[in-house]
Amino acid sequence: MQKMESRGVELPSLWEKALKLIGPEKGVVHLATAAVLNAVWDLWAKQEGKPVWKLLVDMDPRTLVSCIDFRYITDVLTEEDALEILQKGQVGKKEREKQMLAQGYPAYTTSCAWLGYSDDTLKQLCAQALKDGWTRFKVKVGADLQDDMRRCQIIRDMIGPEKTLMMDANQRWDVPEAVEWMSKLAKFKPLWIEEPTSPDDILGHATISRALVPFGIGIATGEQCHNRVIFKQLLQAKALQFLQIDSCRLGSVNENLSVLLMAKKFEIPVCPHAGGVGLCELVQHLIIFDYISVSASLENRVCEYVDHLHEHFKYPVMIQQASYMPPKDPGYSTEMKEESVKKHQYPDGEVWKKLLPAQEN
């Protein structure tokens, strides 16, 4: 772009500074970057006639490394480190791919125990999930301790002592409060507590992590992490035991690759955040690739599943026996049905035509 000057100030320079005020590599700029680059990965995979996970698995390690921005993380992960990890991941890769195609990637359900559900609803949804073969369950906590105690008791009684229970506080607590609250909920044997405090508080997470060691409770976080730098520091501070990437919060597949590789170097299991708004469709590709080409392990690894709004996507996730089955259609599984887009398009879509007049009244 040709530089223009106004009163001695370079306009592109002002523009760059303005962008930095709403970024860099976080906030709206980073979310937009993720949207654009994820779309590029979708197009690339469609051009190759492969789903994104398969495009990644088949990619030469050096080509994969060329997709990663190592700026700000070379004190933890260099290009040489990444290449070594990916080259080691070549061993047994074909066998792991066959395993994924046959058995899928283990998942857990978040759909049974949202805050606000009545006890009857909770019991009904939990019973149906058990019937459908789910063995790992996550419950939302943090609004009221006594309510949490009652709800967790209901779920633990229903699923039994052998099945896995996780808890999610969605950033509810201060650091001391998180430790005290979880010491009371420890009797229900949760595998982890997710987002116990501000997602930006790296040292706070580290303090909670140390305090919960005697209870055998791990810290899970990552869905609100702005970028690879935050993940780097969480790993350096030993502030988490379960790392939760998000396919849209980070800067697309490219940045997620760097985080997967850092997690491998620290030997921290990746258990992605997902949701029923297309996140499940996206993140399945990343975690299947991680197992086949990077981690080569399913120990303490599981991917979130939420059973909402998949009907709007042309290529919705396939869950069998509580596992994500690898998608086979080319692309990133993100394409929505035309009728769904038209119905929800602002402001002329059917949904908005009903909603806007109602709000005015």
61-114 per-position pLDDT tens digit? 999 999 999 999 999 999 999 999 999 999 999 999 999 999 999 999 999 999
DSSP 278: T
Q: Give CA separation, 251 vs 25, 51, 132, 246, in Å.
A: 8, 19, 35, 10
Mean pLDDT confidence for 274-282: 93
Q: Is the pTM here over 0.85, yes or no?
A: yes
Q: Which of 140, 232, 264, 285 is catalytic?
A: 140
Neighbours of 113 (CB within 10 A): 24
pLDDT at position 135 is 97
User: Mean pLDDT, to the nearest integer, of 267-292?
Assistant: 96
Mean pLDDT of 265-287: 96
Let me know: does 218 contact 244? Beta carbons within 8 Å: no
Q: Is the peptide bond before 190 cis (omega within 30 degrees of 0)?
A: no
Rounded CA gap, 330 and 315, in Å?
10
List, in sequence order, the alpha helices (H) in the chain.
Answer: 11-21, 27-48, 52-58, 61-66, 79-88, 93-103, 119-131, 145-159, 175-185, 202-212, 228-236, 252-266, 279-289, 338-344, 350-360
pLDDT value, residue 22:
75
User: Is-catalytic flag, 232?
Assistant: no
Which of 264, 305, 261 lies closest to 104, judged by CA?
305
Residue whose structure tokens are 């982890």: 192
Measured in Å, how far apart are the chain's first and last C-alpha atoms? 49
Per-residue pLDDT band for 237 (boundaries 50, 70, 90) equals very high
At residue 6, does pLDDT exceed 70?
no
Q: Which residues pair with 6 in a beta bridge?
A: 9
Per CATH, the homologous superfamily of domain 89-340 is: Enolase-like C-terminal domain (3.20.20.120)
Give strand pairing partners of 343.
none
Phi-psi region of 158 (alpha: psi -120 to 50; beta: other; left: phi over 0): alpha
Q: How confident is the model at residue 247 (pLDDT cuts 50, 70, 90)?
A: very high
CA distances to 199, 218, 263, 279, 313 from 171, in Å? 7, 15, 22, 20, 30
**Residue 332 and residue 52 in contact, taking contact as beta carbons nearer than 8 Å:** yes
Do you know the residue count of the chain?
361
Q: What average pLDDT does the structure give for the chain?
A: 94
Name the band, by pLDDT with cuts 50, 70 and 90, for residue 23: confident
The stretch 225-244 carries a mean pLDDT of 97
Nearest to 273, CA basis, from 232, 223, 315, 348: 223
Structure tokens at 284: 């399945």
Q: Which of 264, 273, 285, 310 is catalytic?
A: 273
pLDDT value at 302 more than 70: yes
Let me know if 353 is a catalytic residue: no
What value does the mean pLDDT take over residues 295-310?
A: 96
Query: What pLDDT was estimated at residue 16?
Result: 67
Q: Rounded CA gap, 192 and 139, in Å?
A: 11
**Structure tokens that stand for 263 in this block:** 């997690």
pLDDT above 50 for 2: no
15 contact partners, CB below 8 Å, separation of at least 6 = none
Name the DSSP letter for residue 93. Answer: H
Question: Domain spans of the chain?
Answer: 89-340
Q: What is the pLDDT of residue 36?
A: 96
Spatial contact of 81 and 265, defined as CB atoms under 8 Å apart: yes
The predicted-structure confidence for 127-184, as pLDDT tens digits, reads as follows 999 999 999 999 999 999 999 999 999 999 999 999 999 999 999 999 999 999 999 9
Q: Give the torsion through C-alpha atoms of 236, 239, 242, 248, to 10 deg.
A: -80
- H or E element at residue 168: strand 164-168
